[in-house]
Copies of this chain bind each other. A is one copy, B any other.
Amino acid sequence: MISEKNVQRLILYRKILIGLQQEGLQGIHSHTLGKYADSSPAQVRRDLMAIGYSGTPVHGYKVHELVSSISEFLNNPLPQKTCIIGLGNLGRAILDYCHQRNDNIPIMYAFEKDKAKVGKVIHGCKCISVADLEDVIEKEGIELAIITIPAMDAQFIAERLVNSGIRGILNYSPVELRLPDSIYVENRDMLLALEKVAYFSR
């Protein structure tokens, strides 16, 4: 019933709606939301119907309730604890940006090789030695991981993560990870993104 694309658009809608809400907007039409999200009005309506939320003729959708409905659909009953592997430039940028933007997905620990960083707290996130990776993940019940380490180490670390109980990985390293199908992996190779822009910009 709900497709992967559906979910992706719902995530985007929520982001846009929260932004508009902060500007004081109370109601919105499928037409307007679609414009911001690059979807057709019909698409927006279908997506919202899919999660059981309806608008009213003439007045459209109530922003506040819509955000609640989408969150109810997207959010896990319990927060999904997250960790990040690697605190280089990219790791710090992600921490900086994601820190407490979504309480349902708290980034709780950062694992690092560099002993100079271990023990510090960066953006409310404890920096721990990679040697303790398995222990901490199992003990704390961490479910998600963000990988920002060099290509060379990524596969090995990913396998250790999976063996410790990680269920989903956001992979910023330029490697296609070979992991069991039960693990959800989202790859975000930055060069591929740029190549895509290069192709479609012409």
Contacts and interface: CB of A to CB of B under 8 A. Distances in A.
Contact of A201 (B36, B94, B96, B144): B144
Interface in A47-70: none
A125 to B, nearest CB: 14
Nearest to A101: B191
Nearest to A146: B194
B96 A89 contact: yes
A198 B144 contact: yes
Integer count of this chain's copies in the complex: 2
Nearest to A4: B200
A105 B195 contact: yes
A141 B87 CA distance: 35
Contacts of A183: 201
A32 B104 CA distance: 38
A170 B194 CA distance: 7
Interface string A148-192: 100000000000000000011110001010100001101011111
Interface residues of A, number: 55
Contacts of A76: 198, 202
Contacts of A4: 200
A196 B16 contact: no
B191 A98 contact: yes
A1 interface: no
Interface of A: 4, 7-8, 11-12, 15-16, 36-37, 74, 76, 80, 82, 88-90, 92-94, 96-98, 101-102, 104-105, 143-144, 146, 148, 167-170, 174, 176, 178, 183-184, 186, 188-202
